[in-house]
Amino acid sequence: MAIRGGVPICFPWFRAKRDNPDAPAHGFVRTRAWQLESIAHAGEVVTVRLFTESDESTRRWWPTDFRMVLQATFGSELALELIVTNTGPIPLQFEEALHSYCRVGEIGATRIRGLDGVHYLDNTDANREKMQHGDVEVTSQTDSAYMNTSSAIELYDPTLSRKIRLRKGGSLSTVIWNPWRDGAQMLSDLAEDEWRQMLCVEASNILACAVDLAPNQQHTMKAIISVVPHG
């Protein structure tokens, strides 16, 4: 089963698979066992590389061949790189997301900056296109895909006196998600009040920002997460 926390990896589709409602939500990669490729140390920084690739179990849901590497660098900040290679003979198109769960003190007091003036699709309102005005404030169930944006995001958390900064590369969409009370009740692995202390801020390429790769081509999406005091 998927892990409710950390940074689950969504691939090769996001949310439900459009042509198969029985397929696993957010793709099959987030529940796969990965293999260790390497571990490297440089001073106080550690870099871990893991990989997974297509096989008979993935072709059940998605016929295209691929190899995916996750490179995670742990230091004063967390740097994640998701590297996808088309190892098959035909072009492939995929969606992807680094579904990062951020711990917050109180969801109602949290603000997200960096998306002012960006158009987004509101999945709680039939995916209607809207425009963000000012900071994002989460006051109800939220599932928004901000499109055609590569800007950095800052999550201000006055309750814990800090801000979480998300910088990204190779990503043209950003997803903001919190299930709120009613949505959390439908998630068996989320405790009753845990929705109040979490917010997902995700580097992604979804919907119209999906990635197209020719055979032997490679694409890298990066997410760099840092935490700094907020006075």
- Looking at residue 228, its pLDDT comes to 87
152 closest CA partner among 163, 139, 144: 163
Whether residue 231 has pLDDT greater than 70 = no
| Burial label, 206 (beta-carbon count in 10 A; 0-12, 13-18, 19+) | buried
**Angstrom distance (rounded) from CA 61 to CA 94:** 13
Confidence grade of residue 190 (pLDDT, cut at 50, 70, 90)? confident
Q: Are 183 and 141 in contact (CB under 8 A)?
A: yes
Beta strands in the chain (DSSP E): 9-10, 35-42, 45-53, 66-74, 78-86, 92-94, 96-98, 101-103, 111-113, 119-122, 128-131, 136-137, 142-147, 153-157, 162-169, 173-178, 198-205, 211-213, 218-229
What is the average pLDDT value for the chain, to the nearest integer? 95
- Looking at residue 230, its pLDDT comes to 73
Whether residue 92 has pLDDT greater than 80 = yes
- What percentage of residues in the chain have a pLDDT greater than 70? 99
pTM for this prediction: 0.95
Confidence grade of residue 1 (pLDDT, cut at 50, 70, 90)? low
pLDDT digits (tens, 9 = 90+) for 113-145: 999 999 999 999 999 999 999 999 999 999 999
User: 9-229, what's its fold?
Assistant: Beta-galactosidase; Chain A, domain 5 (2.70.98)
pLDDT digits (tens, 9 = 90+) for 23-51: 999 999 999 999 999 999 999 999 999 99
Q: Any idea where the domains of the chain sit in the sequence?
A: 9-229
- Looking at residue 3, its pLDDT comes to 72
Whether residue 2 has pLDDT greater than 80 = no
Q: Are 139 and 113 in contact (CB under 8 A)?
A: no
